[in-house]
Amino acid sequence: MSDEALFVNDIIEATRDGIIKAYQCTECNEMGISVQALCKQCGNNKLNIKEISNVGKVVTYTIQTVAPDPFVNEVPYAWIIVELEDKIRITGWIPFISSKEQLSIGQKVKLVKSYKPGMVFEKLSE
């Protein structure tokens, strides 16, 4: 099954272990991290699923002070969009960030093994 497409659970299970799985088109080499069956670029129906680097830089972020379930007891924290070393993007969050000054666009971050719900990142020093 999982060599046919990138499924929701493939992504969830990998990120729980601090691993990021991406698809890569066997025709045009387009890559991405999304639930995917056909290539966005060329329509090809053969995608390779592969593990990629879990390190990247923050592209944008918000500090959540009002949260949806099940994050109510985690506030405040940062929700982030990250551009990984392979130049494709993923989302996640960083616990215990309480103000915008504690993070900046361009900050280096790494996906870690989940000790909380969702895709948990931590700041890396340069």
Partner 1 sequence: MNKVFLIGAAGTAYGKSNLTARDLSMLASKHAIESSGIKPHDIQAAFVANAFGMAEKQGHLGPLLMSSLGIPHVPSSTIEAACCSGGSAFREAYVNVASGFYDVMLVTGTEKVSHLDTLTATTYFAYGGDYLFEGNSGASFPGLYAAMARAHMHEYGTTEEELAAVAVKNHNNGIFNEKAHLQKKITVDDVLKSPVVADPLKFFDSCPFSDGAAATIIASEEFMNKNGLEKKVSIKGSGRSGGSGSLHTRDDLSSLESTIKASREAFGQAGISVKDLDFAEVHDCFTIAEIIAMEDLGIFEKGQASKAVVEGRTAINGEIPINPSGGLKSKGHPVGATGVGQIVEVFDQLTGNAGKRQVNDARIGLTHNVGATGGSCAVHIFERE
- The residue within the footprint of partner 1, chosen from 60, 96, 108, 122 (CB under 8 A), is 60
Cα–Cα dist 125/121, whole Å? 13
Residue 30 has which token pair? Answer: 């387009």
Adjacent-strand bridge partners of 77? 64
77 closest CA partner among 35, 120, 46, 113: 120
The CB-of-26 to partner 1 minimum distance in angstroms stands at 20
Q: How far is the CB of 22 from partner 1 (least distance, A)?
A: 12
Under the binding rule (CB under 8 A), the answer on residue 12 touching partner 1 is yes
Give me the residues that bind partner 1 (CB under 8 A), please.
8, 11-12, 32-35, 59-69, 71-72, 74, 77, 79, 81-82, 89-93, 99-100, 105, 117-120
